[in-house]
Structure 1
Amino acid sequence: MLSEFRDFLELSYGELEDLNLAAKEQRRNRVAADVIREERLKYLTDEKRIKAVTVLFSDLEGRLHMLDYDKKFLVKSYDNLTFDGSSIRGFTAQRESDLRLGIDWSAFYWVPADVFGAGKVMVFGEVIDKNGTTYSADIRGVLKSFSQELFDKQGYTLNAANEIEGFLFEGIDAERSYHETGSFEYVNKGGYYHSLPGDPLREFIDTTAEVQRAMGFENEKDHPEVAPSQFEINYTYGEVVAAADQIQLYKLICRQVATQMGMTASFLPKPVVGVNGSGMHTNVSITKGGKNLFWDPKGEEKISKLAWQFTDRILTHGNDICLLLNASVNAYRRLDPHFEAPNQIKASATDRGSMVRIPIGNEKSARVEVRSVGPDANPYLVLYSIFKSGLHGETSRIKNLRQAERYLPDNVYTALENFRGAEWTTTLLGEDVKGRYADLKQASADRCARLLGTIVKAPEVQFHHDVYNQLLWNNF
């Protein structure tokens, strides 16, 4: 069909940025949900050039799912959007397949037409159980409830900023064809901070950064990373649920831009042995009434007693929650003591091999950085487990806890054993969801070589939760 017959919404990147920043400010200011809902519904009704609304949600492992609803249908039926939960790994059994999607109208995004198609907008959904409550395996909803409860009872705002590394490889389906090719092909071998303007990696980074900026990410810096063909595109911190949403959008944008360029953006933690892996360093802080509660100019490393207590609890539960922060077989290749791997259950201002680092900060930026997080982990699970452990976990009486000789697991089986055996993970997730998550990880692990060895094996890519599809899963 000729394009002149189509009159679908296409906005400039500047217009998109203005709209997305205004929506972000509403969310930051906690404007009442019913006020935002009515505003969005009116906009969708009045804006005739919108054809569809893409509703986003994540499964238990953190894989992003998207449903396109006709705009007119969604406006009429937004409060009764059903879907088959039995088709989503970790959600329901087949006999309990009916779930509903609620709309989180505060998490609404205008998107570039040249990347996501003309006439579309995006919004995050909330999975609703039959009884009308948050579905227990929808960790986004669990995190949102936890965050809101802390704000209501203690005035706490939970903040996060994530530094997400990834690789850019030749070919559109580099991960899904890995079991056939046995290797990934770099698009660039320049190295840290060094990539010539206009080369494929720099062009990818520039384009992705432009899309992020248009979607209200408030970019800070971007650059090639240490390993060949590796990248990192940084943006500002946000309230915890918005921050987790942005991780999902970040990876979606990267994958979409890469595909349009004939390449693959990969967030496997260690796709190539012998070079640095990819991490998702997770910076967290808590504010109350605009004051950063992690800052204390007279405290040790200039962070507060609360921040140190938070850190001590993270270290105490480091092995318990390792499977949540390092969610795949491949993730344990990254926890190799070489290549700056953060595999020591320690806290340090300087040692980048420590699980927790205390960066240099000030009244605004004082924070705790959890470094042992893989970029393929469920961001909602990561932030929920870090904040709940840091605030409500136990503190071990291990002598010299912050510098004790303790290490994270170097394989998924030990991590699974720790996770299943920990009382704390039951407190975090409940028996049912904990069991579902562990079973999913066990199923993938059992299809992979038990010993990692020195090369990446095809199954650890083929059966990775971000990579597999039904065809690949059945090819066993």
Structure 2
Amino acid sequence: MNKQTEFVLRAIEERDVRFVRLWFTDVLGTLKSVAIAPAELEGAFGEGIGFDGSAIEGFARVFESDMVAKPDASTFQLLPWRDISPATGRMFCDIMMPDGSPSYADPRYVLKRAMKRASDLGFTFYTHPEVEFFLFADPLVPGESPTPVDTSGYFDHTPQSTGSDFRRQAITMLEQMGISVEFSHHEGGPGQQEIDLRYADALTMADNIMTFRTVVKEVALSQGVHASFMPKPFTEHPGSGMHTHLSLFEGDTNVFHDAADEYSLSKIGRQFVAGLLRHAGEITAVTNQWVNSYKRLAGGGEAPSYICWGRNNRSALIRVPRSTKPSSARIELRSVDSACNPYLAFALMLNAGLAGIEGEYDLLPESEDDVWSLTERERAALGIEPLPRNLDEAIRAMEDSELVADTLGDHVYDFFLRNKRAEFDAYRAQVTPFELHRMLPSI
């Protein structure tokens, strides 16, 4: 028994923890949970908890359904919204096969594989997400337009507002669970919020994002409102993204920094950006996995639609922020949804960047223009290609991608494509209010 396991068992006894929730995600990024009694925990650390994998989205077929959830002691935290005695704790799990080998269907393992590849090259991969979401008033009725909790805008300060109270309580809970928050504010849309998490290694951050979504929804419900990470709930207002800052370190050295470069971006950093740009279309079905995601990407402004990079250009897919010190050198990928599966998305971002490093990709010149204001002919002359414009185009790009297939593994790759194809087929068969409004009276 290692020290982390001993710490968890001792903490459970000292804090009167009577329920331990074991968390993991399915292939689409939905959080799953099973509660066990403390008496079962020592056995769970050693052998795991068996479950029917065929009942989990994308995990296994019926004839190979036995799977094991093995808790990761390093992720143990108490749930602050269950702070009454007896307490409730939680841990993330690694999903195993009955013979003890890692499950090919576990998104956490997909990310671990990618991080192992980076580690073999001497790198540690860090991410820092800016997570946007909406708060809606009760009731929230599927199929009907939601009512935002306020009409405030970007950075608005409204005394005693629902958003301010919500952010204060949510951040307090996140920090109680060991998740550091850097910034929070009201975003551009009515009822829209942003909370930025302090950077961490990609696996820790993926766990943190799954915890973040749960905390946000729990706090919202406790305040009589609803939180949604839907990418684009309103036609006329901005959507919710998760601009993600990325960096690679060798030990304590940020390898993206080069003080002699005009952009303070090293050769490795340039190659990483070039890799992300070359493979951007291929990974978009995962970073933007819902049919609704492409309504956000078509909206202009803060949501990119074209594959290019820049420094102060927020219309670009990738932005290279000015860093005040070497350790803060980073790049910002701006297309990502806050509703993605973070394990799969981070794995693909990392491997796309590593492909650029290993293949020594050349970085095209930066785009200094507002890409949205250019004509199609002007963008083509500059070599600026569009991101997939809908889920169908994203699926087709993913189907042709060796990088995505290798990163996800055959099982996750095949299931994800089948699921997303079914989603798009169901979506395109729907008659929308737009069509009825435009066409029914006049055709």
TM over 0.5: yes
Q: Which residue in 1 is equivalent to 2:88?
A: 120
Tell me the percent identity.
Answer: 29
SS at 2:2's partner residue?
Answer: helix
Q: 1:39: Cα distance to partner?
A: 2.5
Q: Which residue in 1 is equivalent to 2:104?
A: 136
Q: Which residue in 1 is equivalent to 2:424?
A: 445
Q: Which residue in 2 is equivalent to 1:388?
A: 351
Q: Which residue in 2 is equivalent to 1:469?
A: none
Q: 1:114: Cα distance to partner?
A: 4.8
Q: Say whether 1:91 aligns with 2:91.
A: no
**RMSD (Å) for aligned C-alpha atoms:** 2.4
Q: Comparing 408-417 with 215-224, which one deviates more in the overlay?
A: 215-224
After TM superposition, list the pairs within 5 Å mapping 1:59-208 onto structure 2.
59-78=26-45, 79-114=47-82, 118-151=86-119, 153-171=120-138, 174=140, 177-179=141-143, 182-208=144-170
Q: 1:273 to 1:454 in 2, by over 3 A?
A: farther
For structure 2, list consecutive stretches of 5 or more residues without a partner in the other structure: 368-381, 437-443
1:277-321 alpha-carbon deviations (Å, 9 max, x no partner): 111011110111211111111123111110110000110001111
Q: Which residue in 2 is equivalent to 1:9?
A: none
1:100 partner letter = V
Q: 1:453: Cα distance to partner?
A: 7.3
After TM superposition, list the pairs within 5 Å mapping 1:325-344 onto structure 2.
325-344=287-306
Could you tell me how far apart the structure 1 residues matched to 2:84 and 2:394 are? 38
After TM superposition, list the pairs within 5 Å mapping 1:72-471 onto structure 2.
72-78=39-45, 79-114=47-82, 118-151=86-119, 153-171=120-138, 174=140, 177-179=141-143, 182-361=144-323, 362-393=325-356, 404-449=383-428
1:431-459 alpha-carbon deviations (Å, 9 max, x no partner): 332111111111222221369978699xx
Could you tell me how far apart the structure 2 residues matched to 1:352 and 1:147 are? 28
Q: 1:428 to 1:300 in 2, by over 3 A?
A: farther
- Residues 164 and 279, structure 1, Cα contact 8 Å, conserved in 2: yes
- Residues 271 and 456, structure 1, Cα contact 8 Å, conserved in 2: no
SS at 2:206's partner residue?
Answer: helix
Q: 1:411: Cα distance to partner?
A: 0.8
Q: 1:114 to 1:353 in 2, by over 3 A?
A: same
SS at 1:425's partner residue?
Answer: helix
After TM superposition, the score normalised by the length of structure 1 is 0.83
SS at 1:162's partner residue?
Answer: strand
Q: 1:410: Cα distance to partner?
A: 1.4
1:236 partner letter = R
1:53 partner letter = V
Q: Which residue in 2 is equivalent to 1:470?
A: none
Q: 1:388: Cα distance to partner?
A: 1.0
Q: Say whether 1:50 aligns with 2:20.
A: no
Could you tell me how far apart the structure 1 residues matched to 2:248 and 2:435 are? 39
For structure 1, list consecutive stretches of 5 or more residues without a partner in the other structure: 1-32, 458-476
1:28-87 alpha-carbon deviations (Å, 9 max, x no partner): xxxxx933123223333x326110111110111111111111111223343230111111
Q: 1:117 to 1:158 in 2, by over 3 A?
A: farther
Q: Which residue in 2 is equivalent to 1:3?
A: none
After TM superposition, the score normalised by the length of structure 2 is 0.89
SS at 1:54's partner residue?
Answer: strand
Q: Comparing 383-392 with 106-115, which one deviates more in the overlay?
A: 106-115
Q: Comparing 250-259 with 194-203, which one deviates more in the overlay?
A: 194-203
- Residues 272 and 456, structure 1, Cα contact 8 Å, conserved in 2: no
Q: Which residue in 2 is equivalent to 1:16?
A: none
2:334 partner letter = R
SS at 1:432's partner residue?
Answer: helix
Q: 1:303 to 1:399 in 2, by over 3 A?
A: closer
Q: Comparing 93-102 with 112-121, which one deviates more in the overlay?
A: 112-121
Q: Which residue in 2 is equivalent to 1:29?
A: none
Q: Which residue in 1 is equivalent to 2:3?
A: 35
Could you tell me how far apart the structure 1 residues matched to 2:145 and 2:258 are? 49
SS at 1:436's partner residue?
Answer: helix
Q: 1:401 to 1:298 in 2, by over 3 A?
A: closer
1:151-198 alpha-carbon deviations (Å, 9 max, x no partner): 3x34322111111100001126x2xx312xx21111100111114132
Q: 1:454 to 1:193 in 2, by over 3 A?
A: farther
SS at 1:221's partner residue?
Answer: strand
Could you tell me how far apart the structure 2 residues matched to 1:121 and 1:447 are? 39
Q: 1:337: Cα distance to partner?
A: 4.8
Could you tell me how far apart the structure 2 residues matched to 1:169 and 1:117 are? 31
Could you tell me how far apart the structure 1 residues matched to 2:134 and 2:85 are? 25
Q: 1:412 to 1:370 in 2, by over 3 A?
A: same
- Residues 197 and 203, structure 1, Cα contact 8 Å, conserved in 2: no
SS at 2:51's partner residue?
Answer: strand
- Residues 189 and 229, structure 1, Cα contact 8 Å, conserved in 2: yes
- Residues 325 and 377, structure 1, Cα contact 8 Å, conserved in 2: yes
Could you tell me how far apart the structure 2 residues matched to 1:259 and 1:289 are? 42
Q: Comparing 222-231 with 294-303, which one deviates more in the overlay?
A: 294-303
Q: Which residue in 1 is equivalent to 2:374?
A: none
State the aligned residue count. 418
- Residues 274 and 364, structure 2, Cα contact 8 Å, conserved in 1: no
1:202-234 alpha-carbon deviations (Å, 9 max, x no partner): 211111111112112222121100111000112
